[in-house]
Chain A
Amino acid sequence: MSPIISISGLSKTYATGFMALKTIDLGINRGEIFALLGPNGAGKTTLISIICGIANPSTGHVLVDGHDIQRDYRAARSLIGLVPQELHTDAFESVWGTVSFSRGLFGKPKNPAHIEKVLRDLSLWDKKDSKIVTLSGGMKRRVMIAKALSHEPQILFLDEPTAGVDVELRKGMWDVMRTLQASGVTIILTTHYIEEAEEMADRVGVINKGEIILVEEKAKLMQKLGRKRMKLHLGSPLTEVPTALSTYNLALADDGKELVYTYDTKSERTGITSLLADLRDAGIKFTDLETTQSSLEDIFVSLVRA
């Protein structure tokens, strides 16, 4: 199946000389939820801005469902809904007014039933006549999502959708995303919350310093995630791992003062009990023990620091 968005050789250099994006090549599959992770200033928002038409690229091309974003911008943009990171709203406009405005702007005929459905799905129906200035931060964010959905987009960009949103509301957003995905909408979300990517994404991309450094199926990343490390602080340092323990794939760390065991939490036997018994038999004593789990966050941090 051809990707719904294909990005090739895309770069962006600002007038100041700052290169926000180096050569980006990326394909987004139809119907997937793609999570784009990256530290602040990595180029996430710049990338989204170019695809949506808010910034001009310096080089490269983007095709949205086969339409070039520059030559055929009308067809490309009418497929896309964008929810930016910042809460940009017309303070004195009503919720209903601003959402209807968005639909008109995208050239769609009036459809009060659709707007009502969007507002109800986002629990905004009872606020439809309220001025935006009177709403809470979480409601304003949902208004921005409603604006993006007002024109029935095929692709939805969510730039940090749950930043500053409480836990309950975040779960609500996730439900909305799942419903949209089920209806065939492709979702690209950027996030700081690794947990959100773990929960929602089909695929994960990591961007750093303007480059995509990893794109992988979340399931594959989760396999790495499933691994745990147990670290034993030894009473007296070892120079090498005793041959009696060779089956455990142990490693020495910190000049032989630490013994590290890596195991899979998902397997039936972690091997911890037998390891500890074998250690006792080998006469190796330890003063302390700690376990750490490698998370998507660790993978992310190690990628970004590299």
Chain B
Amino acid sequence: MNFRAVRAIYKFEMSRTFRTLLQSVVSPVVSTSLYFVVFGSAIGSRITQVEGVSYGTFIVPGLVMLSVLTQSITNASFGIYFPKFVGTIYEILSAPVSYVEIVLGYVGAAATKSIIVGLIILATAGLFVPLHIHHPIWMLIFLILTSVTFSLFGFIIGIWADGFEKLQMIPLLIITPLTFLGGSFYSISMLPSGWQTVALFNPVVYLISGFRWSFYEIADVSVAVSIGMTLGFLAICMGIVWWIFKTGYRLKN
């Protein structure tokens, strides 16, 4: 294992994050505050409680997930797409590193950044509503699992994309709608019964449900199913990454 290489890639990616600190940290804080003003105050004045939790408090896990998902995908996809775009990828490919080490470096850095952003949003939310986390360990496990899984997914997008449009397409057209429809701002039980069934095909529902359970012990689906689905998606992403490096897809041809 070439740990020095993993560290070099990780450090490089993290320093890229710190160079853009304002954009990386301030913008999620601002947008979270906006969500609280719009959703928490405007809608929260009409829906006072969801399953025994005040509406403002109820949306916190969903808001954190919303940011963690988009941040993970954006960071990881950009992290690997940019060297491809400017050509510096040549050095990574010609270095004595295995694909596991490359993925550890890039995905590790992207996941670290989205975990940091997730925790910052949580802290920001704490300024607006009282927070109580029933299962902090599980909360962290869900946060880390989701960050890693979606950073891997972003890494795949970054390798697949051959233009900036494709790079933006998946987060904008698939992830954002899935997150909004995945119960960030409501409980699935609030939907008409037909739509409840449709919602179960949305993988994000399981992530948000499990994450929300770690806060308030309320969930749309059972926690075991949430964890199972997350691990399943993680396994699929790992499989695709393995295939990419085995065949050299979009990297070595």
Contacts and interface: CB of A to CB of B under 8 A. Distances in A.
Interface string B92-134: 1111111000000000000000000000000000000000000
A101 B92 CA distance: 11
Interface in A44-75: 52-56, 73-75
Given A55-B253, A101-B12, A82 B4 contact: no
Contacts of B87: 84, 86, 88
Contacts, number: 77
Give the interface SS of chain B, mostly helix, strand, loop or mixed.
helix
Nearest to B87: A88
B86 A104 contact: no
Give the interface SS of chain A, mostly helix, strand, loop or mixed.
loop
Interface residues of B, number: 25
Contacts of B4: 104-105, 107-109
Contacts of B252: 53-56
Interface in A94-141: 97, 101-102, 104-109
Given A15-B253, A56-B252, A56-B253, A105 B86 contact: no
B95 A147 contact: no
A109 B252 CA distance: 28
B13 to A, nearest CB: 11
Interface residues of A, number: 33
Contacts of A93: 12
B92 to A, nearest CB: 7
A107 B2 contact: yes
Contact of B96 (A55, A77, A86, A92): A77
A16 B185 CA distance: 48
Contacts of A97: 15
A110 to B, nearest CB: 9
A147 B91 contact: yes
B50 interface: no
A90 interface: yes
Interface in B146-178: none
A147 B98 CA distance: 20
Contacts of A86: 87
B239 interface: no
A56 B248 contact: yes
A105 B19 contact: no
B96 A88 contact: no
A97 B14 CA distance: 13
Contacts of B2: 74, 107
A127 B252 CA distance: 33
Interface in B71-103: 86-88, 90-98
Contacts of A90: 12, 86, 88
B5 interface: yes
Contacts of A105: 4-5, 8-9, 91-92, 95, 97
Contacts of A147: 91
Contacts of A92: 19
A80 interface: yes
Contact of A104 (B7, B88, B253): B7
19 contacts: A14-B253, A15-B253, A74-B96, A76-B96, A77-B96, A78-B96, A80-B94, A82-B91, A88-B86, A88-B87, A88-B88, A88-B90, A89-B86, A89-B88, A102-B91, A104-B11, A105-B4, A105-B92, A108-B4
Interface of B: 2, 4-5, 7-9, 11-12, 15, 19, 86-88, 90-98, 248, 252-253
Interface of A: 14-15, 52-56, 73-78, 80, 82, 84, 86, 88-93, 97, 101-102, 104-109, 147
Given A74-B2, A84-B87, 5 more contacts: A86-B87, A88-B88, A89-B88, A104-B11, A105-B5
